[in-house]
Amino acid sequence: MFTGIVTDIGEILELEQRGDLRARIASSYPAAGIDIGASIACEGVCLTVVEKGPGAAGRDWFDVEISAESVSITNLASWKAGKKLNLERALKVGDELGGHIVSGHVDGVAEVVAMTPEGDSLRVTFRAPEALAKFIAQKGSVALNGTSLTVNEVSGCDFGVNFIPHTQKVTTWGGVALGDKINLEVDTMARYVARLREWD
């Protein structure tokens, strides 16, 4: 489990198709502190560490394997060497829950359809797949590329999020652009509420 609070910006060093897709990611996480088999959320996708090693300039690396299923429902098909990634280590008992409970199981891909500066902040409008739009509510939580965010407004399949300068600085959201495809995980509570209503 994760909280949607990004703790590092990683960079893809290599991608290789070996049956499954394998990615090597540079990070400021010390390799010595990462267990083989550990879970790390990469752009919101929970991935398993299969190898690790020392790097240059204080940035070690870890390898993850990505199934065809994960590629098919996320934005991973567009990944390439040099791409920056939001990273988060798995939640430990006693850690501060600063965002909301995030599983790392992406539900689908949203698209950036509008961007409007508001003071020092940036208002971004996303378009969710129709099947997921019902789970997104005003003032509710969503995870976008692994970042826990609050929804400001909803209109049909579109919803808006405000990015403060701090969020833009410590995540990959400082480089967001129109047309970007974004990993979307809806709030787990919303899914359960919707499921319970089906039985009413």
Name residue, tokens 């990462």.
34
pTM: 0.92
Please name the fold of domain 108-197. Answer: Elongation Factor Tu (Ef-tu); domain 3 (2.40.30)
The whole-number pLDDT of residue 101 equals 83
Rounded distance, CA 7 to CA 90, Å? 11
Per-domain residue ranges of the chain: 8-89, 108-197
How confident is the model at residue 80, as a pLDDT? 96
108-197 and 8-89 share a CATH fold: yes
pLDDT tens sequence for the chain (200 residues): 899 999 999 999 999 998 889 999 999 999 999 999 999 999 999 999 999 999 877 789 999 999 999 999 999 999 999 999 999 999 876 667 777 889 999 999 999 999 999 999 999 999 999 999 999 999 999 999 999 999 999 999 999 999 999 999 999 999 999 999 999 999 877 776 776 677 76
Contact 91, 38 (CB under 8 A): no
Q: For residue 58, what pLDDT is reported?
A: 77
Pick the CATH number of 8-89 from 2.60.40.10, 2.40.30.20, 3.40.50.720, 2.30.42.10: 2.40.30.20
